[in-house]
Amino acid sequence: MTTLLLKNVVYQNRITDVLIRDKHFDMIQPNISLNTDVRMDCKGLKAILPAFYNGHTHAAMNLLRGYADDLPLFEWLNKYIWPMEARLSAEDIYIGAKLACLEMIRSGCVFFNDMYWHYSQSNRAAVEMGMRICNGPLILDAYNPSFQSEQELLINRFIDAISTFPETVIPSLCPHSVYSVLPETLKKISKIAEDKNMFVHIHLSETTQEVADCIKTHGCSPVAYLDSLGLLSPKTIAAHGIHLKAEDRDILSQRGVILVHMPVSNMKLSNGSFDVPAAQNAGIKIILGTDGASSNNSLDMIREMKFASLLSKHSSRKTTTLPAQEVFQYATLNSARTFGIHAGIIEPGYLADCILVNLKDVHLVPGYNLISDMVYSADSSCIDSVICNGRFLMKNGVIKEEDKIIEEAVGCGERLRSLEVETFMSAFDGTST
Amino acid sequence: MTTLLLKNVVYQNRITDVLIRDKHFDMIQPNISLNTDVRMDCKGLKAILPAFYNGHTHAAMNLLRGYADDLPLFEWLNKYIWPMEARLSAEDIYIGAKLACLEMIRSGCVFFNDMYWHYSQSNRAAVEMGMRICNGPLILDAYNPSFQSEQELLINRFIDAISTFPETVIPSLCPHSVYSVLPETLKKISKIAEDKNMFVHIHLSETTQEVADCIKTHGCSPVAYLDSLGLLSPKTIAAHGIHLKAEDRDILSQRGVILVHMPVSNMKLSNGSFDVPAAQNAGIKIILGTDGASSNNSLDMIREMKFASLLSKHSSRKTTTLPAQEVFQYATLNSARTFGIHAGIIEPGYLADCILVNLKDVHLVPGYNLISDMVYSADSSCIDSVICNGRFLMKNGVIKEEDKIIEEAVGCGERLRSLEVETFMSAFDGTST
């Protein structure tokens, strides 16, 4: 049991003290005098806010940041992204995920919902950095059905290992998409997820091509198709959901599916824009995510909030669409709730996940409305400290071992670029544990 | 004459030394050993890049940041922005402009093209902070023609004062827009600008309402109308230019007008999106700007580049539109050239305007392509130092008097909010000198 006392912190526009006991907020009131294990005097200059929860990313892809941009989609994937991914070892994925954790912590994020090969490496990175993660085996067998038995083995080993996971690691199954996973595999995943009450994390209706192909192959939209396989539930996290018809929205709403909106990725890949008001009107739950660094190219939830609000205003032609308070909630409370994390609100009894922002940071001045300033003006430079599960991940701008993580990522990038290009499929070597 | 030596700086992917003599880059080569007035060893960890030039803003509006967001346009202007602006004294405008300069320097910007009342206060702020500025009297008489004689006096006094301006202050005349300035005033401005070879800075075709009203009142588009008054030339800086027809683009191209693209403001105010490829195809010169803090809400050219590139990709449905290198050039070289500043390229003979970025900043790692990383990944936290006209504006993250500027802006914001709301028009008290 450790205790952490934040003295003179700005909380809801007044100065008070915040006591964290072990993993939870314990007391919020002025003049708490206690000898605690850790203590920080914020001197009325730092405000406490909920931390961010990244609804969808591919953390290890931070290693590919800036490697290939501004290219036609097919050339981008075939000539650059896939060959580069084929070169990634388990250790590379660990190094890339650490780099991603570093970037997320710097921008106030304490959780990410990941999808990538070698999920255990991302878990290792998240645990070492003190972050929460939702993750599990990536299932991708439509291109090579011979992997089916290996994937089943992988899933079984994963399920056996769940009981050994720390509480900050939330298990999920990650079928990649309707076009890259076989129907019988999707059905199996649906069954396991239901039996084990586990999250299912999948890409959904990201491109017009995906929708057209699904209609051609399965006779219905990706949403209706997944529904017919029993895969849609309140534990289904669907990434993108750009190209939806009214019927699709009704299904998603009825099944309680959570949609992850990623405006930056959608814009950079020219995939169209998710219709926020239509999804809201249909009663669909929405959270925010950054996607991976190849299509963003950063994992910054602060910037993502600004893009989300502005893209929605732009698309709906209304200045009132997706206001700051609402998009902030998508990135914090709604996302935490989605993953069953009792956080996103700074109140006694909630898990002690939070950020401290420097109120003298130029982006937060003069300071009429902190949430507006966080969404429309701030960048990562205003984040002073980050706390997850009652522990500092960043304290006064310092993250443990930052230099080492940066050095390893730079070295890894140099090595990867120098390697011969191999084929995409060699990445499927069955060692994703 | 001062000399400044940057040792071991990363320049175009190699480590070298850069000597600045007085205001210009003097030598770029390894192993320069000279006793200089100022010296910084970058140890191969910082890269030198061109600085940013903000094509259009209202600097003092930083005082209004976060004061009112997410409202319908009319309510936003009438209930919040205009009454608040009516409370601003000349001193407030100075304080707001200083805050804006601070924010711009922190994000690597050394110049802004301003438009606001009390232009001399923004000039004072820019000069004190070591930034370049293009600025001049704001002309806005259509709502109250009795100001005409005062405005003429204001312009005459301004013209008399130009010879006393420091070289970093570039004079301009700022008729607000086609709808807020009388035709005879626009004609006069056109004549003076031609006689004095002066920049004219105006809002143009920002909203569909503006275009419709102009057609109704003057029988033609805002572009054709301004052209008929002789106001369009290679020294005309037109802000926005969202709603243009092919004929308008041809006129702008033929006259050599420079269009300032401001994607964040356009999206936040739901004004539509500037068609970058169409303007490029017509041969129009394009630069980037942030607009003021009420409609952005930050003055960060790094974020503006990402928004510009991604909005263009989104609107054109092409991943190849407005690539990183091109949008970076809009924000640096093209903008500097527009205002006759011999900068934007790091080479001997050019003015010594530049930034130093921290290559170990998490956003720039692994580091395959620095320009891609600056556009798509970086935020202000990567900017280590900023140099303008051969002088450090920020050195190792430190800006002179930052605390004082922040404190004054916070105090000013508190005072403004507590004041009684006055009427918008009281701002026109004829003291704008």
pLDDT tens-digit readout, A350-361: 999 999 999 999
**pLDDT value at position B141?**
87
Nearest to B70 among A324, A379, A380 (CB): A324
- Where do the DSSP E strands lie in A262-399? 285-288, 354-358, 383-388, 391-394
Comparing alpha-carbon positions, the chain B residue that sits nearest to A265 is: B310
Residue spans per domain, chain B: 52-338
Name the minimum distance, in Å, from the CA of B174 to any CA of chain A.
27
Mutate to test the interface with A, among B87, B88, B368, B381 (most CBs of A within 10 A): B368
Residues of chain B short of pLDDT 70, as ranges, are 145-146, 420-433
- Find, among B9, B10, B47, B367, the residue nearest to A414 by Cα: B367
A:B CB pairs within 8 Å = 213
Comparing alpha-carbon positions, the chain B residue that sits nearest to A374 is: B66
- Find, among B401, B391, B400, B383, the residue nearest to B52 by Cα: B383
8 Å CB contact of B66 and A310: no
Chain A positions touching B306 (Cβ under 8 A) are 264, 303
Treating both helix axes as pointing N-terminal to C-terminal, what angle do A119-129 and A90-106 enclose, rounded to 10 degrees?
Answer: 40
Nearest to A310 among B268, B373, B413 (CB): B268
Comparing alpha-carbon positions, the chain B residue that sits nearest to A103 is: B362
**pLDDT tens string B23-76:** 999 999 999 999 999 999 999 999 999 999 999 999 999 999 999 999 998 899
Instruction: Share the mean pLDDT of chain B.
Output: 94
8 Å CB contact of A69 and B372: yes
Least confident of A78-87, A132-141, A284-293, B282-291: A78-87
Residue B74: CB atoms within 10 Å: 8
The CATH architecture assigned to B52-338 reads: Alpha-Beta Barrel (3.20)
**pLDDT tens string A295-344:** 999 999 999 999 999 999 999 999 999 999 999 999 999 999 999 999 99
Comparing alpha-carbon positions, the chain A residue that sits nearest to B381 is: A381
Comparing alpha-carbon positions, the chain A residue that sits nearest to B312 is: A267
Nearest to B71 among A316, A319, A409 (CB): A319
**pLDDT value at position A420?**
54
8 Å CB contact of A106 and B298: no
Comparing alpha-carbon positions, the chain B residue that sits nearest to A323 is: B70
8 Å CB contact of A368 and B270: no
**pLDDT tens string A202-243:** 999 999 999 999 999 999 999 999 999 999 999 999 999 999
Name the minimum distance, in Å, from the CA of A273 to any CA of chain B.
8
Name which residue leads in pLDDT, A428 or A38: A38
Token reading at A182: 């076989």
Nearest to B67 among A103, A310, A368 (CB): A368
Token reading at B353: 């305007």
Comparing alpha-carbon positions, the chain B residue that sits nearest to A324 is: B70
Chain A positions touching B269 (Cβ under 8 A) are 313, 319
Nearest to A323 among B63, B70, B303 (CB): B70
Does residue B49 contact residue B370 with C-beta atoms inside 8 Å?
A: yes
C-alpha–C-alpha distance, residues A17 and A4, integer Å: 11
B351 φ, ψ to 5°?
A: -60, 140
Superfamily of domain A3-50+350-394: Urease, subunit C, domain 1 (2.30.40.10)
Give the pLDDT band of residue A423 (cuts 50, 70, 90): very low
Give the pLDDT band of residue A152 (cuts 50, 70, 90): confident
8 Å CB contact of A313 and B381: no
Mutate to test the interface with B, among A70, A315, A325 (most CBs of B within 10 A): A70
B415 φ, ψ to 5°?
A: -65, -45
Q: How far is CA B405 from each of CA A358, A364, B19, B379, B415, rounded to the nearest angstrom? A: 15, 13, 31, 22, 15
**pLDDT value at position B420?**
55
Chain B positions touching A106 (Cβ under 8 A) are 362, 381
C-alpha–C-alpha distance, residues B152 and A313, integer Å: 40
**pLDDT value at position B13?**
94
Name the minimum distance, in Å, from the CA of B21 to any CA of chain A.
32
% of chain A exceeding 70 in pLDDT: 96
Chain B positions touching A267 (Cβ under 8 A) are 310-311, 313-314
**pLDDT tens string A123-148:** 999 999 999 999 999 998 887 766 77
β-strand partners of B398? B395
- Find, among A351, A347, A350, A433, the residue nearest to A389 by Cα: A351
Q: Name every residue whose Cβ is closer than 8 Å to that of residue A63 and which is 6 or more positions away in sequence.
A: A88, A92, A95, A96, A99, A293, A409, A412, A413, A416, B366
Burial of residue B167 (number of CB atoms within 10 Å: 0-12, 13-18, 19+): exposed
Chain A positions touching B377 (Cβ under 8 A) are 65-66, 293, 296-298
**pLDDT tens string A241-283:** 999 999 999 999 999 999 999 999 999 999 998 999 999 999 9
Asked if the model's pLDDT at residue A429 lies above 70, the reply is no
Instruction: Share the mean pLDDT of chain A.
Output: 94
**pLDDT value at position A431?**
38
Does residue A264 contact residue A32 with C-beta atoms inside 8 Å?
A: no
Strands B3-11 and B14-21: antiparallel
Chain A positions touching B414 (Cβ under 8 A) are 366
**pLDDT value at position A267?**
98
Asked if the model's pLDDT at residue A425 lies above 50, the reply is no
Name the minimum distance, in Å, from the CA of B40 to any CA of chain A.
21
Amino acid at A404: K
**pLDDT value at position B328?**
98
Name the minimum distance, in Å, from the CA of B420 to any CA of chain A.
16
Mutate to test the interface with B, among A65, A79, A88, A405 (most CBs of B within 10 A): A65
Nearest to B362 among A106, A317, A379 (CB): A106
Mutate to test the interface with A, among B45, B75, B313, B319 (most CBs of A within 10 A): B319
Name the minimum distance, in Å, from the CA of A160 to any CA of chain B.
35
